Structure 1
Amino acid sequence: MAARFIVEADGGSRGNPGPAGYGAVVRDGDTGQIIAEAAEFIGHATNNVAEYKGLIAGLKTARELDPDASVDVRMDSKLVVEQMSGRWKIKHPDMQPLAAEARAVFPRGRVEYTWIPRERNKDADRLANEAMDAGKAGRQWEPRACAPAPEEPPLETAAPKAGWAAPADLGTPTTFVLLRHGETPLTPEKRFSGSGGSDPELSDKGRWQAERAAEALAARGSVQAVVASPMRRTRQTAETVAARLGLEVRYEDGLREVDFGAWEGLTFAEVRERHPEDLTAWLGSAKAKPTGGGESFTTLTHRAGVARDKILARYAGKTVLVVSHVSPIKTLVRLALGAPPDSMYRMELSAASICAVQYYADGNASLRLLNDTSHLR
């Protein structure tokens, strides 16, 4: 059955026009729980442009969760609601292409628009302001570990975080068992191997590692679903484990590795020799891209966060094996910890290693395991 979502969106401009940003949340249509967030600083723009961009981002986020869903859009912008409902004409040339883009996200008839007062759109408004604050600080907004956590009470009466609370306090968590793929011929040579390169298959050792991981996970007996990056090495690893568990593999493009651009197939030393300035910038900023049009870690954070939220929505309360790559797994771990982007350079993830993260209903996440390779000994 197709999902039903509520999208709340907003946008703002400090100066109108001025520094602008948008925010959007996607809620479960039955429970009202936030299952995904989106926000972005968009530079110099008007309030109306930012509001439309927030709407588009919310609709696209909902589509990524379920392309067959029906959506109830709720906004405090009377202009956007009336124009998108077809009751007001769109005369401004800046609004016309944005409205057309919004209409194209879902087929006609699957989206309804409702005006709500500003006080009922606080989450989207908060995200828009977070995006503008991030832009003022010279960075982009980044998603949190999951849905926004409630404010903490004073320290002396603070409730325990998910890692300390008994499972019964927060209900059954959704568990991600994060498995990095087995070795390829490029792995022992420590060469950049992303989604823009040769898409290598597993080596003989990599296939052996996948078999060992399958044995270990079968022995645990808790995995209820398998989701994987569509790249060859992750497909081969996931299919080996899934066959042992008697499960089907579902593929999620958001779990693929970063595109390393012109660095694909090179060692770190070779990149440092050929592209020293680009490498320094990349190591110093999550927004920097590898040479030749590669992908930044900021972009990865967004798509990995969307992939995470899609899996959480589909498999709530279950244990899911997520087969992916170094960078996406580190990103999911980093987001679970609320750690800064440069923390990714302080994690070691071996081929066919296992991590585990649990996500709770209150929006908290708990890292349970990191870089376990005991099944390979």
Structure 2
Amino acid sequence: MTARSRHTSIWLVRHGQTEANRHRRYLGRGDSPLTDYGRRQHAALARRLRALPFTRVIVSPTERTRALAAAILDGRSPIPVLEDPRWREIDHGRWEGLTYREVMQRFPAEAQARWAAGIDGRPAEGESLADVANRLAPAWDEVLTQYPGERILIVTHATPIQLVICWCCGQPIAEHWRWRVDLGSITALDTYGTTIIVRTVNAVPRLVGAGESV
């Protein structure tokens, strides 16, 4: 029987580039195909994390996150995988698929009202930052309390990772934008009871070259 660690290791990874990301379009609840660059990012993440013996995987239920989880888990012995919608990206409502310029052209008053409302601002049919925090907080609490001593991989998006970092560092969630979370990046935390140590934030592995094996 494998001895349980005295700390919990949590690795949060953001998916690679999609076509929507490439063209700077709002992408939340929807999906968009990975670009070739995004697939290379997934290969690089899989190579970087290959040696880590994860005991549990939590995945936001989108095709881009599922693809990254599959790349990381390829060739490993089966481990529990949970798809949890609480780890989804913020829902952009009717802004989904639009660029910032298109939003400002079509919904200028709505955009101004959203930014003026701070963490409570939302697009029509979408979510506010406070909404995301409210749905994510119980999921984060479960990670901290239900899996002691495990090594957990969470495959998710920028906003959930930024919120987790804010909580870990005692920052208000309105400051989430101060944390850069790039596509294809790794953020890692160690927890010792209620103490959280930030191992790394926004580490981007070297890309796997064309024709190079993972």
Report the TM-score when normalising by structure 1: 0.50
Report the TM-score when normalising by structure 2: 0.86
Distance 1:272 1:233, change over 3 A: same
1:157 match: none
CA shift digits 1:209-249 (9 cap, x unpaired): 11110111013x24322111011110111111112443442
1:327 match: 159
Superposition map of 1:247-266 within 5 A: 247-248=78-79, 249-266=81-98
What amino acid sits opposite 1:217 in the alignment?
A: L
Greater gyration radius = 1
CA shift digits 1:90-118 (9 cap, x unpaired): xxxxxxxxxxxxxxxxxxxxxxxxxxxxx
Tell me by how many angstroms 1:344 deviates: 1.6
Structure 1 counterpart SS, 2:168: helix
Structure 2 alignment gaps of length 5 or more: 209-214
Contact 1:218 1:244 in 2 (8 A): no
Tell me by how many angstroms 1:318 deviates: 1.4
Tell me by how many angstroms 1:263 deviates: 0.8
Give 1:189's match in structure 2, choosing from 10, 15, 23: 23
Structure 2 counterpart SS, 1:187: helix
Alpha-carbon separation, structure 2, partners of 1:188 and 1:358: 32
Structure 1 alignment gaps of length 5 or more: 1-170
Equivalent pairs counted in the alignment come to: 202
Distance 1:276 1:368, change over 3 A: farther
Question: Runs of 4 or more off by more than 4 Å in structure 1?
Answer: none
Alpha-carbon separation, structure 2, partners of 1:172 and 1:282: 44
Alpha-carbon separation, structure 2, partners of 1:367 and 1:283: 30
Contact 2:44 2:205 in 1 (8 A): no
2:70 match: 239
Specify which structure has the bigger relative contact order, considering alpha-carbon pairs within 8 angstroms and separated by 6 or more residues: 2
Alpha-carbon separation, structure 1, partners of 2:173 and 2:145: 25
Alpha-carbon separation, structure 2, partners of 1:360 and 1:306: 19
Tell me by how many angstroms 1:326 deviates: 1.0
State, as a whole percentage, how many aligned pairs show the same letter.
Answer: 32
CA shift digits 1:110-131 (9 cap, x unpaired): xxxxxxxxxxxxxxxxxxxxxx
Distance 1:302 1:268, change over 3 A: same
